[in-house]
Amino acid sequence: MSLLTLPPPDLSRYSILIIEDFEGMRAILRDILLRASATRISMAANAGNAISLLEKQRFDIVLCDLHLGQGKNGQDILEEARHRALLPPHAVWLMVSAEKAAEMVTGTVESRPDDYLIKPVTETMLFSRLTRQLEKKKALAPIELALREHEYLKALRLVDAQLEGNNPHAWDLKRLKAELALQSGEHDMAKAIYEEALTLRNLPWARLGLAKLHFNEGRYADASRELKQITDGNRAYLEAHDLLAHTLEKLGDQDAAQEVIQRALATSPRAPMRQLHLGEVAQRRGEFDTAQVAFQNSIELARNTPLKSPQAYLALSQVQLTLNQTDAALNTLSRLSSDMHGNTAARLLAEAMQIPVRLHRGEKDLAQSLARKLAAELKTGAQHLPPDAVFSLAAPLLELGETSTAAALLGSLISNHHEYPEYLQRAQLIYTQAGLENEGRELVQGAARVATDIMNRGVKLSREGKLGEAIELTREARAKMPNNARLLLNHAFLLIAWMERHGRDPALNKEARNCIELARKLKPEDKRAGELLTRLELISNDFELPA
């Protein structure tokens, strides 16, 4: 039987959402679905309606138009739905658009819908794509659910169980297994899968996987070599471009890194994090006009998405200050406060970053007043400020004589990042330029020593079998140094060791997992996080594989 004569699938048991701003197109898609016995069809004409429906109901299938007029587009809705876990593991998301340009297609694919349909959508096209994706999602749903629960070991075993038979999705499963192995710190397992795939043919995803392994293990030249094989002549593999840019930065080639980012943005400009990355590299290279535009683009693109963060606002205000655009810098900080009005840390950042701007404008009294007003908040909330903000604030605070606030900010920063020599050097330079070289040396060395001493004491107590004392020590230290990745992993290690000895404790289990996940965000290349997650899962390994 040919594809053209295949009967329509039975969609009677599926709940379906159509997101389309054009009423005629909504009717066309609805009529096609009705011919497949679909009865549970909901429709939304814009992003607001779509999000509201996704919050109230779990849909099995979503057909979403890419362009929805003003406000959020289809890509934004998908990103928010995934970020807020509004989609069940088995849900199929098909992006629909009349746009055929490579720029828009690759940009949409970056948000990873399950498929992309070009209008006009025919019955045969829709049913064939839906059937394929529904079968695939049904098979992978238990694995996806385990991933959502961060149960990587369980997901790995589910993958292996499916691979035992003649599975039509074998290479989808193997690719997923390699990604899970990376998450679990099983680098050798991941490497074996990638190398096996590359013996069959030149698969970009396998080469990208090898590049990630090289990058995480500090072999940047090897990572660059693999990535260039993917990106040379292939503009569409944007994830490889992003990693190549980071790799080139590690190799010290900022010029080439910026060129790679700009090439990726020429293909897919609607990427707020890539725009932010371009701004950061351009700023380091002294191309402030380019940086300013990139940061502005990042803010606008992320405004209605879960990717919105203070980082782009802060960077834009710094560039504007460098360009002597002080009114614009103050306006950017005001926008940060209004756009993220529910975020206490963002509000503090928006107010505090006015200090260097006011000082630059010659408004010393205003800067002084603001510094004194915020002193207590800055001291207690220092650990929540990004490093760039701390460095930007420290020198003005020293100039204003607010030495205790500057010391609190830099001391917190160093204790949380004591393994980053560049941070220690930068902090020392700020004090040296302020004529306080000795004070700076005492602060930098003291803060780094405190962090190291606490961790050494924790290790010693652990080796002596005093796990409870070690846990209390690192727990107290974590409250003071919440962004120290090494401390977080050490604390998680102690909690896991205690549970391995005394049995699983739900509260300790949650505490350990939170530490590991935060450490992974702070230091994604550290394979120890994956290894500890595996040990944590083994403590309560009570799951069963489906028959």
Phi first, then psi: what are they for 526, rounded to 5°?
-80, 110
Taking the chain (547 residues) in runs of 10, the rounded mean pLDDT of each run is 64 94 92 93 93 93 87 80 83 82 47 80 91 86 82 87 84 88 88 93 89 94 95 80 96 97 86 93 97 97 83 96 97 95 90 96 96 95 90 96 96 92 95 96 93 90 92 92 92 94 92 93 86 86 47
pTM as predicted? 0.81
| The pair of three-digit structure tokens given for residue 483, joined into one six-digit string | 């962004």
| The pair of three-digit structure tokens given for residue 535, joined into one six-digit string | 């040990």
Q: Give me the pLDDT at residue 204, please.
A: 86
Tally the domains of the chain.
2
The answer to whether residue 96 sits within a structural domain is yes
* Mean of the per-residue pLDDT values of the chain: 89
Residue pointed to by tokens 């919050």? 55
C-alpha to C-alpha distance for 339 and 220, rounded to whole angstroms = 38
Contacts 24+ apart (CB under 8 A), 472-481: 477/451, 478/515, 480/383, 480/415, 481/383, 481/412, 481/415, 481/416, 481/451
Burial class (CB in 10 A: 0-12, 13-18, 19+), 469: middle
Q: Answer whether 380's CB lies under 8 Å from 350's CB.
A: no
User: Helix, strand, coil % (nearest 5) of the chain?
Assistant: 70, 5, 25
Which helix H or strand E contains 43, and what residues bound it? strand 40-44
Q: Give me the pLDDT at residue 99, please.
A: 65
C-alpha to C-alpha distance for 466 and 444, rounded to whole angstroms = 31
Residue pointed to by tokens 């590690």? 250
Q: Note down the domain range covering 490.
A: 484-539
Q: Report which of 26, 85, 91 is spatially closest to residue 62, judged by C-alpha positions.
A: 91
Q: Answer whether 100's CB lies under 8 Å from 118's CB.
A: yes
Residue 27's CB: how many other CB atoms inside 10 A? 13
| The pair of three-digit structure tokens given for residue 386, joined into one six-digit string | 């990004």
Q: Report which of 80, 238, 62 is spatially closest to residue 137, judged by C-alpha positions.
A: 62
Quick: pLDDT tens for 190-234.
999 999 999 988 888 899 999 999 999 999 999 999 999 988 877
The answer to whether residue 357 sits within a structural domain is no
The answer to whether residue 109 sits within a structural domain is yes
Here the CATH number for the domain that contains residue 33 is 3.40.50.2300
Q: Report which of 350, 339, 427, 355 is spatially closest to residue 381, judged by C-alpha positions.
A: 350
Q: Give me the pLDDT at residue 237, please.
A: 78
The answer to whether residue 38 sits within a structural domain is yes
**b/e per residue, 298-322, with b = 16+ CB within 10 A?**
bbebbbbbebbbbbbbbbbbbbbbe
Quick: pLDDT tens for 517-533.
999 888 888 889 988 98
Among the three residues 90, 115, 148, which one is the final residue of a domain in this structure? 148
Q: What is the DSSP letter of 99?
A: -
Among the three residues 117, 148, 179, which one is the final residue of a domain in this structure? 148
The answer to whether residue 83 sits within a structural domain is yes
Residues contacting 152, CB < 8 A, separation 6+: 146, 180, 183, 184, 530, 533, 534, 537
Among the three residues 109, 124, 148, which one is the final residue of a domain in this structure? 148
The answer to whether residue 341 sits within a structural domain is no
Phi first, then psi: what are they for 153, rounded to 5°?
-65, -45
The answer to whether residue 496 sits within a structural domain is yes
Residue pointed to by tokens 């899962």? 537
The answer to whether residue 17 sits within a structural domain is yes
